[in-house]
Amino acid sequence: MTATHGFVDESIRAGWYRLTVVEIRSRDLAGVTRSIRSRVPAGQTRLHIASENAQRKRTILGSFLRLPIVATTFETPYDRRSDDQVARDRCLRALVGHLLTSGVSVLVLDTRGPDRDRRDGRALSAALRGRGEALVYSHRGSRDEALLALPDGIGWAVGAGRPWRQLVADVARVVDVGKRG
């Protein structure tokens, strides 16, 4: 099985919590990284799709579609008045099950700060417990890891409405994980 890396970012919008993973084969990492870095505007340190105008969003997302990537968004209903960790943990459990069947062995999650990253670590460890599988994971900032722009952009598109979701449909699968505990 080809070694694969996964890059994860969340998106919260309109009553849904979404966790998007973009999978990239190890042999494609350097080329995909170059492509993403070439799209970062002069004077900026990263791509962040939400801060772009509609035409630039289309251009960026179109460039993502030409890359050798696969994306999956795990979504669950979410009430913004509640702690998002419950919804996130639900998505993380589904993510781990998916990763173990798709061959991802290295996972990079966008950091949310030391306390929240530790909570992620506990949720990931619990999801991996008893499975006998190894998954190396870490948290990094999007300024340090250019490839986090991929789940940021694709996750944004999935949650931004039908035209945007359709735009990324060729590379992004959406999985509703419901409210299962």
**pLDDT level of residue 130 (50, 70, 90 thresholds):** confident
Q: By three-state DSSP, how is residue 122 classified?
A: helix
Give the model's pLDDT for residue 1. 56
From 122, 112, 119, select the one nearest 8 (Cα to Cα).
112
CATH code, 23: 3.30.420.10
In a domain, 91, yes or no: yes
pTM: 0.93
Structural domain range at position 144: 4-176
Q: By three-state DSSP, how is residue 73 classified?
A: strand
Sheet holding 69-77, edge to edge: 136-140, 104-110, 4-13, 16-25, 69-77, 172-176
Q: Are 154 and 171 in contact (CB under 8 A)?
A: yes
| pLDDT tens per residue across span 26-38 | 999 999 999 999 9
pLDDT higher than threshold 70 for residue 44: yes
| pLDDT tens per residue across span 164-178 | 999 999 999 999 998
In a domain, 181, yes or no: no
